A and B are shown apart, each in its own frame.
Chain A
Amino acid sequence: AQKITQTQPGMFVQEKEAVTLDCTYDTSDPSYGLFWYKQPSSGEMIFLIYQGSYDQQNATEGRYSLNFQKARKSANLVISASQLGDSAMYFCAMREIDNYGQNFVFGPGTRLSVLP
């Protein structure tokens, strides 16, 4: 079963508007970390934001914020004031404990296109 679900294969947003990228996760562990990465067409993976399972406040990093709803197992990324350079693939990921230690699980990604 998918541990990370991103239901939006592609999203469009007008420049300067805000956009929300969805992410739901599945784990029975009380301790875990949630991450968002951006992957431009060049291929590199850029870390954007982190949310811990025990964090009371939603994480924010500049124009990025994470809408964390623990009971719903939801960790949506909100990008405010979209810019053309935000066009990229966005991946939600979870760090959790497995039998070997700690591991990362990635979602299938959402392709965001910012329109001028």
Chain B
Amino acid sequence: DGGITQSPKYLFRKEGQNVTLSCEQNLNHDAMYWYRQDPGQGLRLIYYSQIVNDFQKGDIAEGYSVSREKKESFPLTVTSAQKNPTAFYLCASSTGTGFSYEQYFGPGTRLTVT
């Protein structure tokens, strides 16, 4: 079945450690996105990538980094510079250049940093 996988579902880290969240898709989508969601809030865009080896900062990129070496993969690293990293992280992908193509989302990773 085609879809987006994010692993792990729950992640715990100590403050000061970098942590990488995985996002893989087998939908053959060109565009991939990372969002952060805090409790009771909407989605805020961290980074997005329209093609391999290229990505753009979103609204809250500080303290995060990404890579897009393969079409299928778009890992997100939460660095120690991110002041409040505890949140729910959602990865998404989309295809086509037409406006009718929706985003497909992964199940998300809940990161807790103590």
List residues of A whose CB falls within 8 A of some B CB: 31-33, 35, 37, 43-45, 47, 50, 52-53, 91, 93, 95-96, 100-104, 106-109, 111
Contacts and interface: CB of A to CB of B under 8 A. Distances in A.
Interface of B: 31, 33, 35, 40-43, 45, 48, 50, 56, 88, 90, 92, 94, 97-105, 107-108, 110
A21 B16 CA distance: 41
B111 to A, nearest CB: 13
Contacts of A35: 102-103
B contact patch SS: strand
Contact of A102 (B31, B35, B45, B90): B31
Given A50-B102, A53-B99, A91-B43, A103 B48 contact: yes
Given A44-B107, A102-B31, A104-B33, A33 B100 contact: yes
Nearest to A55: B100
B43 A44 contact: no
Which of A37, A91, A106 gathers the greatest number of chain B CB atoms within 10 Å? A106
B43 to A, nearest CB: 4
Contacts of B99: 31-33, 52-53, 95-96, 102
